[in-house]
Structures are given as C-alpha cells and as structure tokens.
Amino acid sequence: MAEGVARGGPGGGALPGSPGLDKPIYTISVAAEILETHPRTLMMYENMGLVVPQRTSTNRRRFSQRDIYKLQTIQSLTRQHGVNLTGVRYVLVLLKALHEHGIPPPEGLEDIDVAALKI
C-alpha cells in the first residue's frame, strides 16, 4: 500500500469529509505516480479487465481510492508472489470468496487484503 494512505471502512473514506473509496479523483498520471509504475501499465490492466476506471464526460480515466487499492494488490501478487496477470484475476476472485465466507487465506497470501476490493 502507498505510504500515507490509510484504508477506510467499506462505506467510504477514513476521515469525515474525505472523499469515499469510490469517488473518481485520480488521473492516470497521478495513479501511475502513486503506484510507481508507467501509465501504459495501468492501461494494460484496464484492457485486461483487471481494473475499470470511471470516465469523465470527455472520456478521461479517473481512478478511485478503491481502484488504487486493487492496483496495489495486483502489484503485490505479481511482484512479491510471482503470479502472472491471468492468475491474478483468479486469485483475486478466490481470495474474495474466501473472505466473504470467513475462511482465512492460504498460507503465504495472508498479506493480501481483499476486504475493500470490488472483484
């Protein structure tokens, strides 16, 4: 997770008056900077359907805080756990299903938090 970013509850932001998790506030360049990756990488994730940013009336991408959390999770799975992008899709679905049924994640994936993600 990016430094200085605190996850809020399922209903929105961590602080009163802060934007909710689903408010589309980050441009692709800002999101890429937060994630320390190239904007083209984010476009590739979008083309694969891993993340779907909202669009402005002029068709510009806007990422929400929830999108940033999901992208950080994708980065963790690919970088720290060696999962390819096709596998990421399945791992996220399975981890979310486990979470929803109160089952702990498998050994080695305890650091992946899918509670706030929309899969």
Single-letter code of the amino acid located at 67: D
Q: Is residue 50 part of a domain?
A: yes
Instruction: Find the distance separating the first CA and the last CA of the chain, reported in whole Å.
Output: 18
Are residues 77 and 93 in contact, defined by beta-carbon separation less than 8 angstroms? no
Q: What is the per-residue pLDDT for 105?
A: 95
Residue 3 lies in a domain: no
**pLDDT tens digit sequence for 51-105:** 999 999 999 999 999 999 999 999 999 999 999 999 999 999 999 999 999 999 9
Alpha helices in 1-107 (DSSP H): 28-35, 39-47, 65-79, 85-100
Query: What is the CATH classification number for the domain harbouring 42?
Result: 1.10.1660.10
CA diameter of the chain: 45
Q: Is residue 6 part of a domain?
A: no
Residue range 18-42, pLDDT digits in tens: 778 999 999 999 999 999 999 999 9
The yes-or-no verdict on residue 1 having pLDDT over 60 is no
Amino acid at position 96, single letter: K
Residue 17 is encoded by which pair of tokens? 């008056």
In this predicted structure, the answer to whether residue 44 has a pLDDT above a threshold of 50 is yes
Confidence of residue 7 (pLDDT cuts 50, 70, 90): very low
- Asked if the structure places residue 88 within a domain, the reply is yes
